[in-house]
Structure 1
């Protein structure tokens, strides 16, 4: 008996759909069918910001470089880079990007004078930050 009831229900629904009585209720709105409603979003271009906690420090005094990473996966390690002459050299100071996209790296510098630093993650680099070591 249960099987007969199921067949009858399916038959009634099929007749209603084919007859057009309920077809409007189940049809998708017209604006969903137009190609103009499809919006393609490009992935966010990777970017890094950087800010030093101090602009002037003593030699080997610890300070932090922190910032935000956008378009970079959480857990990715960012590295501090120092400009030495015309080359950028990676320092042994790294920190992971957290789930909110922020990072904070502890840094100690021994080269006296104005030091140009930046943060790098793969091929993405931040703008320069200057720290004077006295």
Structure 2
């Protein structure tokens, strides 16, 4: 095949492809993707809220700590932690997060005075809740 015929054939094929349904293969990248499909978003950071049902209780009186877990899977256990001196100690009080992201755990405390409590699930921690025990 001579050179002129080859160039003409390639030109016809190129025009046909660009004019037809397979033109997307030759389209510019900005035509193929919208900006929202190109930009990757990071997952939301996990968070916990906590609220005690009472701010003052008698020793060994039961109360509840309830809250919402965002960014945690249903079934993830959240545990009550108590500040003892300078350390946070996990108490034997934990409950799984439900399918809506809520939790509620029953707690009894015997250490009199102001108790600082928080909820924890791995490295995710709630703000501190204070409960006074008389």
TM-score (normalizing by structure 2): 0.76
Corresponding position of 1:130: 130
Aligned partners of 1:39 and 1:77: how far apart in 2? 33
Corresponding position of 1:11: none
Corresponding position of 1:33: 32
Q: Is 1:89 the counterpart of 2:73 in the alignment?
A: no
TM-score (normalizing by structure 1): 0.76
The 3 A distance-change label for structure 1 pair 19 and 46 is closer
The 3 A distance-change label for structure 1 pair 71 and 132 is same
Aligned partners of 2:85 and 2:46: how far apart in 1? 27
The 3 A distance-change label for structure 1 pair 18 and 119 is same
Runs of 4+ in 1 over 6 A off after TM superposition: none
**Secondary structure, aligned partner of 2:90:** strand
Deviation per residue, 1:16-42 (Å, 9 max, x gap) = x96957x39xx6xx9761462323121
Aligned partners of 1:57 and 1:123: how far apart in 2? 29
**Secondary structure, aligned partner of 1:74:** coil
Aligned partners of 1:95 and 1:113: how far apart in 2? 25
Aligned length, in residue pairs: 116
Corresponding position of 1:77: 77
Corresponding position of 1:64: 64
The 3 A distance-change label for structure 1 pair 32 and 58 is farther
Unaligned runs of 5+ in 1: 1-16
Unaligned runs of 5+ in 2: 1-15
